Structure 1
Amino acid sequence: MTSNKELSFPAPAHWIDGRAVLFDGPAIEVLNPATGVVIATVPEGTAADVDRAVAAATAAFPAWAATAPAERAAVIRRIAPGLKARGEEIAAAMSAEMGAPISFARRVATGLPPMTIETLAGVAEDFPWSEEIANSLIVREPIGVVAAIVPWNFPLQQIVTKVIPALLAGNSVVLKPSEVAPLVARTFAEAATEAGLPAGVLNVVHGTGQVVGEALAAHPGIDMVSFTGSTRAGKQVSAAASKTVKRVALELGGKSANIILPDADLKDAVTRGLASAWTNNGQICGAYTRMLVPAGLHDEVVNLLREAADEYTVGDPADETTRLGPLASEAQRERVTAYIERGIADGATLVLGGPGRPDRLPTGAYVRPTIFANVDPDSVIAQEEIFGPVLAVIPYTDDDHAVQIANSTIYGLNGAVFGEGEHALAIAKRMRTGQVDINGGQFNPLAPFGGYKQSGNGREYGRLGLEEFLETKAIQR
């Protein structure tokens, strides 16, 4: 494996009209959060850079939109092997730029994006691009130029989730990666070009959300914005996009409840629940961050959590044995630490962890993986998205109480229920959230993913994820 210390990255550049565009202006430093060392730089893009990328995408759109869906799918399928061939490079970059443990980054980089591409290409090949309804011909057409604004927690997968269905639908794209984890965007653009994607159909502009993100959202040449990030930032994107009434799809924050029923396999539920809460250092929007347990089983659950937590080694993300690395940035470390301190101040029982860095890790963006018990469901740590390895255990009295707690936040992205099958299904149907996993149900890339309430709107993956990037026209005859 390539050590993070030995990595070298391409010259910093945007990707516009099928090629790298070097720059001589201000740069954004990309830091390794484990060490604080600068590992690369990317352009600090401007509104003028956005204009150039939108112009390239606008020029490329008509020919790509006119390409037969089967031909578009064939091009997109060829991206998957290109990414697989670069799997180790992508994993090392992900680990170095945002702190993901290398073993986890490798699984994510080499497995999920290629599988998602193959699955979505199959959806496009089987999609009903036109249909007859009485005397009407219903046709589905690409929207136009799509801005894809992605976060840092799953750099490549988030790109794939947005860009691939947009391209399959016949749109051209301007991609803005997160400035925290921007490195794999260049790799993706190169793989897409090698696969035969025409110049200008995919463009990449680096920069901050305040400048590049806002310019994209407000740009009159952008027909749709697909954004994943915090609820706060999503509101800003919506406001900027509203000036031109463009379509906006938002995948935002979450505070997912994991309801453990009295008839659950308790050890399995606790083990899987903690894994969800702490995977990727807790930096997952759909993580099960609230564990709702029967009051009579609360202490037993806490003991099982202590045992399960022993398996999580905190350390250098480049080490194969590390289960939890640093958070993505020092700012994120400070944010999560403030939530841990707030939990203590509000009277939650600290089971393990707490403020400060772990022992033997005096530097870097590390936090102590933390578990709170006897958490008030209305408290700050039970209501707000923390985005770090912090789990809140909340006791409940009966099914109605559990559902009421689960639905009590502004979010509605994900959730889980562990228990006897029919009992768990009945509870899942009452949860106001876009997804619910029963007894560890596995991720399905054919199923839609998205949120209720302030977790966003629209859906990703599967047929509904493709339809997000299409207009519908009715022709009467």
Structure 2
Amino acid sequence: MQNATRFYINGAWVEPEGTQRLDVINPATEQPIGQIALGTEADVNKAVAAAQAAFPAWEATSREERLALFDRIIEVYKTRLNDIAETICDEMGAPLWLAQRAQAAIGLVHLTTARQTLADFAFEEQLGTTHVFREPIGVVAMITPWNWPINQIAAKVAPALAAGCTMVLKPSEIAPLNAILFAEVLHEAGVPAGVFNLVNGDGPTVGAALSRHPDVAMVSFTGSTRAGIEVAKNAADTVKRVAQELGGKSPNIILDDANLEKAVTAGFRSVCVNAGQSCNAPTRMLLPRARYEEAVAIAKAAAEKVVVGNPREANVTYGPVASEAQWNKIQRLIETALKEGARLVTGGPGKPEGLNVGYYVRPTIFADVTNDMTIAREEVFGPVLVLIPYETEEEAIRIANDTPYGLSAYVTSADLDRARRVAARLRAGNVHLNGAEIDPRAPFGGYKQSGNGREFGVHGLLEFLETKAVLGYAAA
């Protein structure tokens, strides 16, 4: 059991103000592996005060000073990569190979990308006689999820540091231990006291206190659309900036000229990454009706090759989902799909055979799904794929856009120009053509109820900056 009950405030590990504790559960064993303290409004006030006090000096640092700090952070992070991967594997169930190659590694990618962005970024520009300055917004509250924990922490902390902001992080209470390691990295690298602060806790207490705090200039939130709405409501009275990366129900349009075997197999495998717990997972596969049953058979064959099991075993495709609550939600949605008449191709309710302990979910595919079914409209956040037939390209685009979400979309075609034309009509913040991967320099975020902010690269840095125009700055 790891005792992690202290908070990182003003450059030191301090005791919490409250007495409430929460066990951190390993979803593969259903046993506690650590314990955190649940913060209170008093803890939030201390952390925000530290961040506010540190802001003037950090805002005044030069680009060169920030770049030097990034170099130290990156070097220290490299020494903790394996610790972070092991922790993420244990606290949220990611296979160790995924935790090493992606979950922990992506944090390093965001740090190096933010450093490169900072090195080249123009904080000032001249427009005639007016000079435009881009300045740090101030104290930022960061509320991050459990599914890709270090990814979302680094995607917020790195550009905020580059911008000159100070911050208070509230990581998910379901997977909080990796955030403590991240704080240790920043401390060892010499981040000045008060620039970065960490308070553990739940959303209704710590998250709400941060969101409504009058000295917080911005909230950067990643999580469910439901929780994002609450954050925005709490922030409204103080008219602070709220950047949100929320849920998704991403369409995957496979056009009739695509290599069906390759596209369907890759699409299903993508849904299974991280046990389906990715907001941009391509969970609605849209298929030409003329080849629909062929595609159903291909998807079923792909599912039969999936290995579900102990996340510490090398050959597993995915491990358990992150919590009992998440497992129960997935089961409810699978049962609802059956009641609403979707055809179960493979998988279904319950745990995979032989996995009676742990929050494991069977790889599940539903066919004959219509876009008004619950399983096609609600974010499952599990290894569940729905197959939807379409008659024409026009219908595929209509179905793809018929969703309250708009985070990501996917298009596969043998004709790149055709794929580009379809992409131009999709209402999504990210469109992946022919299996293109995430680009850490490209803006990441969504349309509609998938959010209103952008992360990564230059766009991620801009989120943490205010714009000041000084008119008459230059002689006419």
Normalising by structure 2, what TM-score? 0.97
Q: How far did residue 11 of structure 1 move?
A: 3.7
Q: Is the 8 A contact 1:269 1:418 kept in 2?
A: yes
Letter in 2 for 1:443: I
1:196 deviates by 1.9
Matched, 1:60 2:54: yes
Q: Which residue of 2 aligns with 1:22?
A: 15
The CA distance in 2 between the partners of 1:92 and 1:455, in whole Å, is 30
Q: How does 1:47-446 map to 2 (within 5 A)?
A: 47-419=41-413, 420-446=415-441
Where in structure 1 do 4 or more consecutive aligned residues deviate above 3 Å?
Answer: 8-11
SS in 2 for 1:180: coil
Deviates more, 1:209-218 or 1:269-278: 269-278
Distance 1:226 1:22, change over 3 A: same
What are the Cα deviations for residues 324-357 of structure 1, in whole angstroms up to 9, with x where unaligned? 1111000100000000001111111100000011
**C-alpha contact 2:322 2:359 (8 A) present in aligned 1:** yes
- State the SS of the aligned residue for 2:363: strand
Q: Supply the AA of the counterpart residue of 2:460.
A: G
Deviates further, 97-106 or 18-27: 18-27
Q: What whole-Å deviation, never above 9, does each CA across 1:8-43 have from its counterpart, x for those lacking one?
A: 635421110111113471111100111111100111
Q: Percent identity?
A: 51
In 2, are the aligned partners of 1:348 and 1:375 still within 8 Å (CA)? yes
Q: 1:39 aligns with which of 23, 33, 37?
A: 33
CA contact (8 A) 1:77 1:117 kept: no
What is the alpha-carbon distance in structure 2 between the residues aligned to residue 418 and residue 454 of structure 1?
25
Residue 114 of structure 1 aligns to a residue in which SS? helix
Displacement of 1:110 after TM fit?
Answer: 4.2
User: Contact conserved, 2:3 with 2:36, CA < 8 A, in 1?
Assistant: no
Once the two structures are TM-superposed, the CA of residue 243 in structure 1 deviates from its matched residue by 0.7
Q: What one-letter code is carried by the residue in structure 1 that aligns with 2:313?
A: D
Question: Contact between 2:4 and 2:177, CA under 8 Å: does it hold in 1?
Answer: no
Report the CA distance between 1:278 and its aligned residue. Answer: 1.2
Q: Where do 5+ consecutive residues of structure 1 fail to align? A: 1-7
Matched, 1:13 2:6: yes
Describe the SS at the equivalent of 2:319: coil
Deviation at residue 70 of structure 1 after TM alignment: 2.7
**Could you tell me how far apart the structure 2 residues matched to 1:387 and 1:133 are?**
47
Contact 2:104 2:150 in 1 (8 A): no
Residue number among 462, 467, 470 corresponding to 2:462 in the alignment: 467
Q: Equivalents in 2 of 1:99, 1:433: separation in Å?
A: 29
Q: Partners of 1:270 and 1:399 in 2: how far apart?
A: 17
Distance in 2 separating the partners of 1:73 and 1:380? 48
Count how many residue pairs are aligned between Structure 1 and Structure 2: 470
Instruction: Measure the CA separation in 2 of the matches of 1:426 and 1:413.
Output: 18
What's the CA shift string for 1:67-125, capped at 9, x where partnerless?
01232122123222222211111111111111111111111244221122111111111
Say which SS state the counterpart of residue 307 (structure 2) adopts. coil
CA contact (8 A) 1:11 1:22 kept: no
Question: 2: CA distance between counterparts of 1:294 and 1:78?
Answer: 52
Aligned with residue 452 of structure 2, among 447, 451, 457 = 457
**Distance in 1 (alpha carbons) for counterparts of 2:14 and 2:291:** 59
Is the 2:366–2:385 contact (alpha carbons within 8 Å) kept by the matching residues of 1? yes
In the superposition, relative to structure 1, how do residues 393 and 40 fare at CA in structure 2: closer, same or farther (>3 Å)? same
Does structure 2 retain, via aligned residues, the 8 Å contact 1:277–1:389?
yes
- Gap change, CA 1:33 and 1:287, over 3 Å in 2: same
Aligned-pair CA distance for 1:317: 1.2
The SS at the match of 1:184 is helix
Tell me the distance in 1 between the aligned counterparts of 2:32 and 2:104: 25
More displaced 10-residue stretch of structure 1: 329-338 or 63-72: 63-72
Distance 1:19 1:367 in 2: 40
**In 2, Cα distance between equivalents of 1:213 and 1:157:** 19
**Cα distance in structure 2, aligned partners of 1:249 and 1:461:** 13
| 2:346–2:365 contact (8 Å) kept in structure 1 | yes
CA distance in 1, matches of 2:407, 2:111: 23
Report the aligned-residue RMSD: 1.1
Q: Residue 322 of structure 1: CA displacement?
A: 1.4
For 1:201, give the aligned amino acid: V
Give the aligned residue type for 2:354. R
**Aligned residue number for residue 5 of structure 1:** none
